[in-house]
Structure 1
Amino acid sequence: MGAGASSLLGQDADPRCATGLGNLPEDCAALVLMNLDPPEICKLARLNRAFRGAASADFVWESKLPRNYPHLLEKIRGGEAGRTTARSKKEIYARLSKPNPFDGGAKVFWLHKHKGGVCLPVSAKALAITGIDDRRYWSHIPTEESRFQTVAYLQQTWWFEVDGEIEFWLPPGEYSLFFRLHLGRPGKSFGRRVWSSEHVHGWDVKPVQFQLETSAGQRAQRQCFLEEAGSWVHYEVGSFSVASWDKPTRVKFSMMQIDCTHTKGGLCVDSAVIYPRGVRPERVSADGRFGKTL
């Protein structure tokens, strides 16, 4: 049994055995890899020489790249599309599957390695927040708990409204949009995570209204109370679909609580995030470090 397993792997094979996976032609191995997710391709590349060679083939990785990937490269290269041919498709995929900031670092995107769509966080600094320039109500505070290293913090207001808009070459598929929010002000004390509830009030009186609209005419809206003080929460606004490779998708989104019969405060606005539908947004652990996007 053990000798048979070794023969299949093509390593330490019994010389009496004529063939094994180690003898598989690279083009056949490549056809196998084309049916796997990128993480599985990388694991199988460690199996033997045939899979290792096949795992570098351009046509394998081109099958994992979205058809509109040149537009994604333009986004991170400032429009220098002519340089896209200087890299192998494996290198291009590796680049696009890592976080790529753009628009001065206010936005970031990467390809999801399992779903194949784009993950796209938009920082609070790229959102239109009513009253953000009035330091009596709002301020930008630094924190390691944001991938953008800063969040917008609301002390108190009567009129709460946050609007955003983004146009991006999203690969076709289903997507969901969230706002990443935190009730209370996070911080650190003696190296440990702490948070202050000093200004938290008013969010249990009336719900916050969330809505989105796409350039294809899709709309979604919902409302909910903000809760779970002391934790980062992804509040889902809604889902939408992208059908075309040939044009960018524009998404407008907002959240508001404009009932002026009461004030509200103590809220951190980190970002709005677009993920392939079904992907669970990343969590932040107790020490402030990001977990994986699943």
Structure 2
Amino acid sequence: MRIIREKQQVGVQSMHYADYMFLIKVLKRNKKLESVCKKVATCIANILCGTTPADACRLSLVSKVFRSAAESDVVWERFLPSDIYQFPLLLNYGYAYAYAPKKALYLALANRPIIIEQGTKSFQLHKKTGNKCYMLAARSLAMACANTHYYWIWITDPDSRFPEVADLRFVWSIVFRGVINTLVLSPNTQYVAILVFKMIYPESFYNCPMELSVGILGGHGSTKFVCLDPIIKFPNDRVVGLQRPILRSDGWLEIEMGEFFNTDLEAEVQMSVTEVMDDDNDDVNVKCGLFIEGIEIRPKE
């Protein structure tokens, strides 16, 4: 016990390999710790509060004492966002989130996105860190002619988390954008914005570069050029070497739009997708067969 108290007084902020070994050695040095497991678990829990959810899960395998500490509400309360109980939606789900054990609450919010704001956004915790993740549904994006059925229609998709997605029918050029306030995100965190979509007619995007932009209004921003066609075999000079989308585990495609660092100050992050027109070629492809689920904002790994 004295050894653990001394370790706490040092002020452990994060647990690295040396910290793991220290705690394991404590158990081996004094086998009688099991008989005072409650006090030991409290001390260990205080140390685990300075680690990450992934660390706590790994350390729970060390012994019964560690498992008791690593599964305590004290530890998992620390991993949950401080404002989590300000979400009224927590009381509307059968999990009885507000009264569940803190680890169960954490895993429920990390394993499955929750749809909020009338189906226009989803909220989730990043499983490894506990940082907040959001997805802006296509309905929350500013899309030209979004309510004109000749150009876009709104359909259901069994693979989507949202009640509806945008189905592109016919446009000559693509432009849409989304906005999120930094106050809803985790502070002091590097975030990445991800465009999530599907294609059934990738040939309509043949050799068609897109400009993806992410930036804080009035602050730093970044722009990149990508090709949304995932299967193009004979690219021309306009798209050679450009980033392509990758397949997600949920069946959608995703492509990174850009990154931004979220401080603890309020600001708006603007994200946009714009087709790059070819001024030297009047033969513009008609775009169709694109399904937009939304823009995901998640911590950079």
Instruction: Please report the TM-score for the alignment, with normalisation by the length of structure 1.
Output: 0.69
Which residue in the other structure is 2:294 paired with?
A: 271
Which residue in the other structure is 1:211 paired with?
A: 213
1:277 corresponds to which letter in structure 2?
K
Preserved contact between residue 151 and residue 268 of structure 1 (Cα < 8 Å): yes
Q: Distance in 1 between matches of 2:266 and 2:78?
A: 21
Partner SS for 1:157: coil
Aligned-residue CA RMSD (Å): 3.5
Q: Distance in 1 between matches of 2:267 and 2:131?
A: 13
User: Can you list the C-alpha shifts for 1:96-126, whole angstroms capped at 9, x where unaligned?
Assistant: 4352321112211122121332221111111
Which residue in the other structure is 1:150 paired with?
A: 164
In structure 2, stretches of 5+ residues that fail to align are 1-23, 92-96, 233-246
Call closer, same or farther: CA 1:153–1:51 in 2, change over 3 Å: same
2:219 corresponds to which letter in structure 1?
G
Preserved contact between residue 90 and residue 98 of structure 2 (Cα < 8 Å): no
Match of 1:170 among 160, 179, 185: 185
Partner SS for 2:205: coil
2:270 corresponds to which letter in structure 1?
K
Call closer, same or farther: CA 1:264–1:77 in 2, change over 3 Å: closer
Match of 1:220 among 207, 219, 222: 222
Which residue in the other structure is 2:235 paired with?
A: none
Which residue in the other structure is 2:153 paired with?
A: 139
2:49 corresponds to which letter in structure 1?
M
- How many residues matched? 244
Which residue in the other structure is 2:242 paired with?
A: none
1:239 corresponds to which letter in structure 2?
E
2:253 corresponds to which letter in structure 1?
V
Match of 2:272 among 249, 254, 257: 254
User: Can you list the C-alpha shifts for 1:210-246, whole angstroms capped at 9, x where unaligned?
Assistant: 11221461211111122115953212111000121xx
Q: Distance in 1 between matches of 2:163 and 2:116?
A: 15
The answer as to 2:79 corresponding to 1:64 is: yes
Q: Distance in 2 between matches of 1:85 and 1:270?
A: 29
Which residue in the other structure is 2:260 paired with?
A: 240
Preserved contact between residue 129 and residue 162 of structure 1 (Cα < 8 Å): yes
2:151 corresponds to which letter in structure 1?
Y
For 1:1-294, what aligned pairs fall within 5 Å after superposition? 19=31, 22-23=34-35, 24=37, 25-42=40-57, 44-45=59-60, 49-66=64-81, 69-70=82-83, 72-77=84-89, 90=103, 93-94=106-107, 96-98=109-111, 99-167=113-181, 168-172=183-187, 173-184=189-200, 197=201, 200-215=202-217, 217-229=219-231, 232-244=252-264, 247-257=265-275, 259=277, 261=282, 262=284, 263-278=286-301
Partner SS for 2:208: coil
Preserved contact between residue 169 and residue 248 of structure 1 (Cα < 8 Å): no
Higher strand share: 1
Preserved contact between residue 161 and residue 258 of structure 1 (Cα < 8 Å): no
Preserved contact between residue 182 and residue 229 of structure 1 (Cα < 8 Å): no
Which residue in the other structure is 1:286 paired with?
A: none
Q: How high is the sequence identity, in percent, across the aligned residues? A: 26
Q: Distance in 2 between matches of 1:152 and 1:95?
A: 28
Higher helix share: 2
| Offset of residue 205 of structure 1 | 3.7
